[in-house]
Structure 1
């Protein structure tokens, strides 16, 4: 297993996001690929040369806002998303970020709660699905 942090998209990321969001969740391509990727941090978990899990992170003052969290369909529910997020937590601690925030789709809320995120506010609609803001303090 290998973790990488990139500063722009590559073909692996484009393919995984397209399969997950554009095809899998019917998110319009222009919504997923919103023009904000360049300059953000792209956290990747690779195994045997294959991208298994991904998220993008934006530095905002002393915290990170993450999004586009996805795991390849062939390895879902096998702990790769948790491994990538644990790597992000360590990175955040080492780089003195105090918090991580995200907007979670309703079906992922339980996963995020199990790894220490808390819900903030109420559900709202985004990209055709209910979402809620969540955050986790980094200690």
Structure 2
């Protein structure tokens, strides 16, 4: 297992297959992709999990965190998220936040993220903004 930085376009197929398979391919791209730091977790040179990190206003946001369905439940996503959180420690940010699917909020709570009052709907799915204060 290896984590390395990848290009934004390398994340798109995984994002599409895992997060929004019934949407057009471009639905998984974000305007700021060219500004992000993108990480991929590889198992035997196969890209199985991705996450993108964006820095703005002294905070870090991770987006589009996805693990291939056939590799879920094996700890790869947890390993990648722990790696990402460790990376943020050296970036001098006050917090890390994400837009979590509401049904996945419990997963992020295990990492010290707390739900905020901010929620919204996208593509028929409810999301909640979650944040972990670092300082």
CA displacement at 1:96 relative to structure 2: 2.0
3-state secondary structure, aligned to 2:85: helix
C-alpha RMSD of matched pairs (Å): 1.7
CA displacement at 1:14 relative to structure 2: 2.4
- Structure 1 stretch displaced more, 72-81 or 29-38: 29-38
Runs of 4+ in 1 over 4 A off after TM superposition: none
The answer to whether 1:67 aligns with 2:71 is no
TM (normalized to structure 1)? 0.87
CA displacement at 1:31 relative to structure 2: 2.7
3-state secondary structure, aligned to 1:20: helix
**Superimposed CA distance per residue, residues 9-58 of structure 1 (whole angstroms, 9 cap, x where no aligned partner):** 22xx22211211231xx344333223331221111111110112111111
Contact 2:18 2:68 (8 Å CA) reproduced = yes
* Counterpart in the other structure of 1:104: 100
Task: Note the residue ranges of structure 1 that are not aligned, 5 or more in a row.
Answer: none
Contact 1:7 1:40 (8 Å CA) reproduced = no
3-state secondary structure, aligned to 1:37: helix
3-state secondary structure, aligned to 1:107: helix
Matches of residues 82-101 of structure 1 in structure 2 within 5 Å?
A: 82-101=78-97
TM (normalized to structure 2)? 0.89
Cα 1:78–1:105 shift into 2, 3 Å? same
Contact 1:9 1:38 (8 Å CA) reproduced = no
Contact 2:40 2:49 (8 Å CA) reproduced = yes
The answer to whether 1:123 aligns with 2:103 is no
Matches of 1:27 and 1:113 in 2, distance apart?
Answer: 28
* Counterpart in the other structure of 1:53: 49
Matches of 1:131 and 1:62 in 2, distance apart?
Answer: 23
